[in-house]
Chain A
């Protein structure tokens, strides 16, 4: 702030913001590197990885399944309405399966887990930080990167593709439900068209995205949690920031990867 009561210099204000932003990005990159190094080198804490796979993967099944069925259903309905305008409604099964496997299965799973898992991790790690449990881990010779962050990272990277596979199947089923029971498609033809149009490449694209989303989700949760400030406000803020950050990064990474996959012909 300026001393004489004059208006603050807007350039200084923008400059400070930019420097703070780059510093934050730098810290996040260094932190991500440390998490990945701990995750990819032994020793691995298999007990913690197992626990986190259940917490992150298994308990996300209901929310992922429900989201996928509704997205698949809405997608089918919209494609039908759009296709109807130029007599292309028979392409509903093809576009549903393509849209779900390449794009929506992974994105919806990533977004739902950015809410459920990232905020949960940030709140848990944040609470551990403010109650000195992270310091306690260090004094007991347990490295928080190996004991807390790497297991969450690995569990998210392993379970996200599994969840996306489930979302793909249930999402396509959501489209089938609406088409057969709402739009008078023939069930057998719909399924045959879906299976004919389904390719391993499209599914693989979604699964590769899922691994990256898993990394984003776990790292954002751990990062914001581990720099959470004291008190209920600090932990709440960490949870909010992590969730928003993870959701935006999931969408940004999705776009970047989609561009990349299209360019390499996948």
Chain B
């Protein structure tokens, strides 16, 4: 078996008395696309932030490419992040910068690339997400939500990472734009040969982009299997989620 690019072992995280992650075990193999399903408040975002090192787990370990990165700081942490791309739920584009400066942010700041060269790279990457050079000099506030998602995707892939995180990539988009974003994600992840972890509650998106699907419920992974097995999971929680029923073992978060 190949070594996973990312592995979470018994990761726990609490906020006060709120025990959000209760021992999460998950891994993703290089080049594989894993989708983690979960309802609102199931701990998906916290899991992602722990994996990225934006939060430290209370206990458990996080391995990146076989190395324990759980408590890495400084240079080691940067070395890991240089190989990871992240698409935030809201895009998280810097609104004080132009579109191309956003896309080339890592090149300009961490890698000290010359502006002209970085702009060429940014425009080439924007083309990959079907955006023309004309948007390069606009501000994020001047483009539509779907375009912002594309720009954020371009920013995540410009440095050709080995692992990309997608935090609810289709949230807030109409179904057609959402499908276009899904297509772009599949196309770009395949082109890079990167692994990806997406968290979502959008089943259409999950079915489309996943090689494997896992379900996070009450801070634990309760089911995991190939994407085509999602309808035959034999798990009541997964069934309820997949069919979007209010009745079942999972209580709606009201």
Contacts and interface: CB of A to CB of B under 8 A. Distances in A.
B88 A141 contact: no
A136 B86 contact: yes
Interface stretch (B22-30, B76-84, B245-253): B76-84
A142 B109 contact: yes
Contacts of B227: none
B1 interface: no
Contacts of B105: 140, 142
Given A132-B89, A147-B109, A139 B94 contact: no
B233 to A, nearest CB: 32
B90 interface: yes
Given A131-B92, A132-B89, A132-B92, A139 B52 contact: yes
Given A139-B52, A139-B54, A132 B106 contact: no
Contacts of A89: none
A136 B88 contact: yes
Contacts of B52: 135, 139
A16 interface: no
A138 interface: yes
Interface in B45-93: 49, 52-54, 78, 81-82, 84, 86, 88-90, 92-93
B109 A140 contact: yes
Most buried by B among A133, A139, A142, A147: A139
Contact of B81 (A128, A133, A141, A147): A141
A147 B95 CA distance: 15
20 contacts: A128-B94, A131-B90, A131-B92, A132-B88, A133-B95, A135-B49, A135-B54, A135-B88, A136-B86, A136-B92, A139-B54, A139-B81, A139-B86, A140-B81, A140-B105, A140-B110, A140-B155, A141-B82, A141-B109, A142-B105
